[in-house]
Amino acid sequence: MTVFIQASYFAAAVLFILGLKAMASPVTARRGIQWGGIGMVLATLVTFATPGMQNVGLMLVAIVLGGGLAAYLGRVVRMTDMPQMVAIYNGMGGGAAAAIAALEFARGHVHGTTATILAVLGALIGSVAFSGSCVAFAKLQGLMKKAFRLPAQNAVNLALALAVLGLAIRIVAGGFPLGSDLIVFFVLSLVLGVVLTTPIGGADMPVVISLLNAFTGLAVGFEGYVLGNPALVIAGIVVGASGTLLTQLMAKAMNRPIANVIFTPISGAAQGGAAVSGTMKEASAMDAAAMMRFAQKVIIVPGYGMAVAGAQHKVWEMARLLQEAGVEVKFAIHPVAGRMPGHMNVLLAEAGVPYEMIFDLEEINEEFATADVALVIGANDVVNPAARTDKSSPIYGMPILNVDQAQNVIVNKRGKGAGYSGIENALFYGENTRLLYGSAQQAIADVIADIKTLQG
């Protein structure tokens, strides 16, 4: 039986890895999700065959409740709310890892220095991931409207981290922790997650979600070692490693070291940057329609404004109309557009936009100079030319989409505000820029109607 269980766990781990590999491409992503799901079902079923397994009834109740709730939420949660759903699910994983460590310590099942160290690390990282993800969820859901920064924030972070580290060393050195030490350790770890995350503003949120996801994976991997479960070890480490790599890539895309994201976050409370001169010039739906209908090349840059309005289907309808009129249409995606990694890619795929029309920053940036029109739908920081020119800007040095180099720029936004991050966008004041105000859903619908009118 033991050989069968270990072989099944190995098969599940292989399915996890193959699934993750398949999810690297939109063409094979669905297959990857299916493989990962099969692996998870296999690992779960085999766990019930483990000799000496207890509380099977409670496990079944938990699976039914958790699986039922997840299936329901997966169907009813809107695509615009997917980032906060990912954040809270990620937090649940970290919380589960921390809870496993707490239970194993309480039962006295943690033996040996290595197992104790990994159990403590899993508990710490899992607790931080849980409370930090809850804060991220609150921010994305709009329950927490502002970033909160304590006086001497970094000193508070350091003091909390040292206190938690001191307790961790005491637990490892003692071999078997006192109940009071465990309680204080977990409380301080949870507080550390909250204190680290609350100052972080919307501009850095995609990186934070990715980082917390990596934390959860590592915590699960460490607790898998403590439990002697190879499937948890492999799955957790794979998630931790891929999440860490993704976090590094996203931080690079913003030209912001991960340490800066955590310790010197961008928030609307402290904009920085030089004052923007000029005036915003408004365009009507007919103006936008005429510019794009009689253009040769149009590049569309989607942002969170498109997601909020659920306008991806309208945008694709408009793109098809332009293609029928002989206009070359492409979509440009910045690595941190939206509120989570790949947010815009998922929305466009949902609307049916062919993969070959969607280009990353490196692939399309040189083409903006040859575009007749660049249409920006609800994007802000990722198209702000101040990132190239203003050394005092918080986003200086961040690679951006070169939208301002197009012959004409149309920006659809709901109002005249500075956007989620609080940084004023110099693009909006450019001589070649026109603002199309209104919700993306209605604004693009108006443009579609006017394009049809122009086509007769």
Could you give the residue numbers annotated as active site? 381
The token pair at 447 is 């443009």
Phi-psi category of residue 142: left, alpha or beta, with phi > 0 → left and psi -120 to 50 → alpha: left
Instruction: With both helix axes pointing from N to C terminus, report the angle between 2-22 and 230-253 in degrees, rounded to the nearest 10.
Output: 20
Compute the distance between CA of residue 244 and CA of residue 453 in angstroms, rounded to an integer.
Answer: 50
Q: CB within 8 A of 211, min separation 6: which ones? A: 243, 247, 258, 261
Q: How many CB atoms lie within 10 A of CB 25?
A: 11
Q: What is the DSSP track for 306-370?
A: HHHHT-HHHHHHHHHHHHHTT-EEEEEE-TT-SSSTTHHHHHHHHHT--GGGEEEHHHHGGGGGG
Compute the distance between CA of residue 341 and CA of residue 210 in angstroms, rounded to an integer.
Answer: 7
Strand partners, 377: 302, 412
The token pair at 446 is 């108006």
Q: What is the DSSP track for 30-67?
A: HHHHHHHHHHHHHHHHHHTTSTT---HHHHHHHHHHHH
Yes or no: say if 395 and 318 are a contact pair by the CB < 8 Å rule: no
Strand partners, 374: 299, 409
CA-to-CA dists, residue 453 to 177, 325, 444, angstroms: 75, 12, 14
Compute the distance between CA of residue 336 and CA of residue 338 in angstroms, rounded to an integer.
Answer: 6
Residues 180, 185, 191, 194: is their CA dihedral positive or negative? negative
Yes or no: say if 219 and 129 are a contact pair by the CB < 8 Å rule: yes
Instruction: With both helix axes pointing from N to C terminus, report the angle between 153-174 and 113-141 in degrees, rounded to the nearest 10.
Output: 150
